[in-house]
Amino acid sequence: MFVVPTDLPSASVMIVSPQEPLYTGETVTLQCDISDYTDWTYNWYRGNKLQSPDSPSRNITTLSDLVSQYQCQGTRTDRPQSSQLSVSHHITVTDNQPKATLRSDEWDVLTGDNVTLTCTVESSGWRFYWYRNRQDSEPVETTSSSSYTLNQVSVSDRGQYRCRAGRGDPVYYTQYSEPVYIQITERPIAVLTLQPNWTQIFRGESVTLRCDIQKAGV
Protein backbone atom coordinates (compact mmCIF):
# COMPACT_ATOMS: atom_id res chain seq x y z
CA MET A 1 0.00 0.00 0.00
CA PHE A 2 1.33 3.43 -0.96
CA VAL A 3 0.98 6.12 1.71
CA VAL A 4 1.22 9.78 0.75
CA PRO A 5 3.25 11.72 3.37
CA THR A 6 1.46 14.64 5.02
CA ASP A 7 3.25 17.90 5.65
CA LEU A 8 3.83 18.86 9.25
CA PRO A 9 1.50 21.59 10.60
CA SER A 10 2.60 25.12 9.74
CA ALA A 11 3.67 27.65 12.37
CA SER A 12 3.63 31.40 11.83
CA VAL A 13 4.71 34.43 13.85
CA MET A 14 2.86 37.74 13.97
CA ILE A 15 3.17 40.92 15.99
CA VAL A 16 0.17 41.28 18.33
CA SER A 17 1.13 44.70 19.66
CA PRO A 18 2.12 47.39 19.17
CA GLN A 19 1.74 48.20 15.50
CA GLU A 20 4.89 48.97 13.54
CA PRO A 21 7.04 51.02 13.34
CA LEU A 22 8.65 49.96 16.60
CA TYR A 23 10.88 52.13 18.77
CA THR A 24 13.83 51.49 21.05
CA GLY A 25 12.65 50.48 24.52
CA GLU A 26 9.16 49.32 23.55
CA THR A 27 7.86 45.95 24.72
CA VAL A 28 6.62 43.92 21.75
CA THR A 29 4.29 40.92 21.95
CA LEU A 30 4.73 38.17 19.36
CA GLN A 31 2.17 35.43 18.74
CA CYS A 32 2.94 31.93 17.47
CA ASP A 33 0.01 30.43 15.57
CA ILE A 34 -0.28 26.72 14.75
CA SER A 35 -3.73 26.14 13.35
CA ASP A 36 -3.77 22.33 13.33
CA TYR A 37 -3.98 20.09 16.41
CA THR A 38 -3.64 21.18 20.05
CA ASP A 39 -1.46 20.81 23.16
CA TRP A 40 1.60 22.46 21.68
CA THR A 41 4.66 23.49 23.62
CA TYR A 42 6.15 26.52 21.88
CA ASN A 43 9.82 26.90 21.14
CA TRP A 44 11.08 30.36 20.19
CA TYR A 45 14.17 31.10 18.11
CA ARG A 46 16.03 34.31 17.47
CA GLY A 47 18.63 34.26 14.76
CA ASN A 48 18.36 30.42 14.70
CA LYS A 49 19.23 30.28 18.42
CA LEU A 50 16.72 28.45 20.63
CA GLN A 51 15.22 30.50 23.45
CA SER A 52 13.59 28.89 26.47
CA PRO A 53 10.21 27.18 25.81
CA ASP A 54 7.36 29.65 26.24
CA SER A 55 3.66 30.23 25.79
CA PRO A 56 2.06 31.06 22.40
CA SER A 57 2.85 34.71 23.13
CA ARG A 58 6.30 36.06 23.77
CA ASN A 59 7.21 39.54 25.02
CA ILE A 60 10.48 41.10 23.98
CA THR A 61 11.99 44.48 24.84
CA THR A 62 13.46 46.02 21.72
CA LEU A 63 17.02 47.31 21.61
CA SER A 64 18.64 50.12 19.66
CA ASP A 65 19.20 49.25 16.00
CA LEU A 66 17.81 45.75 16.56
CA VAL A 67 17.10 43.72 13.44
CA SER A 68 16.27 40.23 14.66
CA GLN A 69 14.84 37.13 13.09
CA TYR A 70 12.18 35.50 15.24
CA GLN A 71 10.81 32.04 14.56
CA CYS A 72 8.66 29.60 16.48
CA GLN A 73 7.96 25.87 16.40
CA GLY A 74 5.53 23.64 18.26
CA THR A 75 6.31 20.29 19.89
CA ARG A 76 3.95 17.77 21.50
CA THR A 77 3.93 14.17 22.81
CA ASP A 78 1.32 12.93 20.31
CA ARG A 79 1.77 12.59 16.60
CA PRO A 80 2.67 14.79 14.89
CA GLN A 81 5.37 15.51 17.45
CA SER A 82 6.39 18.83 15.93
CA SER A 83 5.26 21.55 13.59
CA GLN A 84 7.25 23.13 10.85
CA LEU A 85 9.57 25.93 11.88
CA SER A 86 7.91 29.23 11.02
CA VAL A 87 9.28 31.60 8.42
CA SER A 88 11.67 34.16 9.91
CA HIS A 89 9.93 37.30 11.16
CA HIS A 90 12.12 40.36 10.80
CA ILE A 91 11.70 43.12 13.38
CA THR A 92 13.22 46.48 12.60
CA VAL A 93 13.50 49.05 15.38
CA THR A 94 14.33 52.74 15.16
CA ASP A 95 16.08 54.56 18.01
CA ASN A 96 14.44 57.89 17.10
CA GLN A 97 11.88 58.50 19.86
CA PRO A 98 8.74 59.90 18.18
CA LYS A 99 7.56 63.39 19.10
CA ALA A 100 3.94 64.43 19.50
CA THR A 101 2.60 67.46 17.62
CA LEU A 102 -0.07 69.63 19.23
CA ARG A 103 -2.42 72.07 17.53
CA SER A 104 -5.50 74.00 18.62
CA ASP A 105 -8.55 75.12 16.66
CA GLU A 106 -8.53 78.38 18.69
CA TRP A 107 -5.83 80.38 20.48
CA ASP A 108 -7.63 83.54 21.66
CA VAL A 109 -11.11 82.83 23.00
CA LEU A 110 -13.75 84.22 25.34
CA THR A 111 -15.09 82.58 28.48
CA GLY A 112 -17.84 80.10 27.67
CA ASP A 113 -16.31 79.07 24.34
CA ASN A 114 -15.08 75.57 23.49
CA VAL A 115 -11.48 74.81 22.48
CA THR A 116 -10.39 71.53 20.84
CA LEU A 117 -6.76 70.40 21.04
CA THR A 118 -5.43 67.71 18.68
CA CYS A 119 -2.31 65.64 19.39
CA THR A 120 -0.78 63.68 16.51
CA VAL A 121 1.89 60.98 16.28
CA GLU A 122 3.00 59.46 12.97
CA SER A 123 2.37 55.86 14.10
CA SER A 124 -0.75 54.36 15.68
CA GLY A 125 -2.05 52.56 18.77
CA TRP A 126 -1.42 55.40 21.25
CA ARG A 127 -3.19 56.75 24.31
CA PHE A 128 -2.87 60.51 24.77
CA TYR A 129 -1.82 62.50 27.85
CA TRP A 130 -2.63 66.20 28.24
CA TYR A 131 -0.72 68.72 30.37
CA ARG A 132 -1.26 72.35 31.34
CA ASN A 133 1.56 74.77 32.30
CA ARG A 134 3.97 72.10 33.59
CA GLN A 135 4.83 68.98 31.63
CA ASP A 136 6.36 67.30 34.70
CA SER A 137 3.02 67.44 36.54
CA GLU A 138 0.21 64.90 36.47
CA PRO A 139 -1.77 65.06 33.21
CA VAL A 140 -5.00 67.03 33.39
CA GLU A 141 -6.64 64.37 31.20
CA THR A 142 -5.89 61.11 29.38
CA THR A 143 -7.83 60.07 26.29
CA SER A 144 -7.91 57.21 23.81
CA SER A 145 -8.77 59.79 21.16
CA SER A 146 -6.18 62.20 19.75
CA SER A 147 -8.55 65.13 20.49
CA TYR A 148 -9.30 66.83 23.81
CA THR A 149 -12.03 69.48 24.11
CA LEU A 150 -12.16 72.17 26.79
CA ASN A 151 -15.87 72.88 27.20
CA GLN A 152 -17.15 76.33 28.22
CA VAL A 153 -13.74 77.56 29.25
CA SER A 154 -13.12 79.98 32.12
CA VAL A 155 -10.16 82.27 32.78
CA SER A 156 -8.64 79.56 35.00
CA ASP A 157 -8.24 77.35 31.89
CA ARG A 158 -5.81 79.88 30.40
CA GLY A 159 -2.23 78.66 29.96
CA GLN A 160 0.26 76.55 28.03
CA TYR A 161 -0.83 73.10 26.93
CA ARG A 162 1.32 70.14 25.88
CA CYS A 163 0.63 66.53 25.01
CA ARG A 164 2.45 63.25 24.62
CA ALA A 165 1.35 59.72 23.76
CA GLY A 166 2.04 56.32 25.26
CA ARG A 167 1.40 52.69 24.33
CA GLY A 168 2.20 49.19 25.55
CA ASP A 169 2.74 47.66 29.00
CA PRO A 170 4.97 48.96 30.48
CA VAL A 171 4.03 52.23 28.78
CA TYR A 172 6.42 53.60 26.17
CA TYR A 173 6.07 57.39 25.82
CA THR A 174 6.72 59.77 22.95
CA GLN A 175 8.49 63.06 23.48
CA TYR A 176 6.35 65.97 24.69
CA SER A 177 4.90 68.28 22.06
CA GLU A 178 5.87 71.91 21.78
CA PRO A 179 3.56 74.09 23.93
CA VAL A 180 0.47 75.83 22.64
CA TYR A 181 -0.72 78.87 24.61
CA ILE A 182 -4.47 79.39 24.98
CA GLN A 183 -5.49 82.97 25.83
CA ILE A 184 -8.90 83.22 27.50
CA THR A 185 -10.58 86.59 28.10
CA GLU A 186 -13.69 87.36 30.10
CA ARG A 187 -16.68 87.70 27.78
CA PRO A 188 -17.76 91.38 27.41
CA ILE A 189 -21.01 92.51 29.01
CA ALA A 190 -23.83 94.20 27.05
CA VAL A 191 -25.37 97.15 28.96
CA LEU A 192 -28.70 98.63 27.85
CA THR A 193 -29.53 102.26 28.83
CA LEU A 194 -32.60 104.44 28.28
CA GLN A 195 -32.33 108.14 27.39
CA PRO A 196 -33.88 110.14 28.96
CA ASN A 197 -33.76 107.97 32.04
CA TRP A 198 -37.48 108.24 32.77
CA THR A 199 -39.20 105.82 35.07
CA GLN A 200 -42.52 106.34 33.28
CA ILE A 201 -43.11 106.76 29.53
CA PHE A 202 -46.36 107.93 27.90
CA ARG A 203 -47.61 107.03 24.44
CA GLY A 204 -46.28 109.42 21.79
CA GLU A 205 -43.05 110.26 23.63
CA SER A 206 -39.68 109.58 22.03
CA VAL A 207 -36.89 107.75 23.86
CA THR A 208 -33.50 106.41 22.83
CA LEU A 209 -32.22 102.89 23.66
CA ARG A 210 -28.43 102.55 23.77
CA CYS A 211 -26.48 99.28 23.92
CA ASP A 212 -22.88 99.50 25.14
CA ILE A 213 -20.38 96.66 25.22
CA GLN A 214 -18.18 96.76 28.33
CA LYS A 215 -15.25 94.65 29.38
CA ALA A 216 -16.01 92.36 32.27
CA GLY A 217 -15.12 93.90 35.62
CA VAL A 218 -15.43 97.50 34.41
Domain ranges within the chain, ordered by starting residue: 11-94, 101-185
What's the chain's Rg over C-alpha atoms? Answer: 31
pLDDT of residue 119: 98
pLDDT of residue 205: 85
Instruction: Please state the separation of Cα 80 from the chain's center in Å.
Output: 44
Count of H-run helices and E-run strands, the chain: 0, 19
**CA torsion through residues 53, 93, 135, 152, sign:** negative
pLDDT by 10s per residue, the chain, length 218: 666 678 899 999 988 889 888 898 899 889 999 988 889 999 999 888 888 777 898 888 876 656 577 899 999 999 999 999 999 888 878 888 999 999 999 888 999 999 999 999 988 999 999 999 988 889 999 999 999 999 999 999 999 999 999 999 889 999 999 999 999 999 888 888 888 888 888 888 888 888 887 776 55
Q: Which CATH number fits domain 101-185: 3.30.360.10, 3.40.50.10490, 3.90.1150.10, 2.60.40.10?
A: 2.60.40.10
Q: Which CATH class is domain 11-94?
A: mainly beta
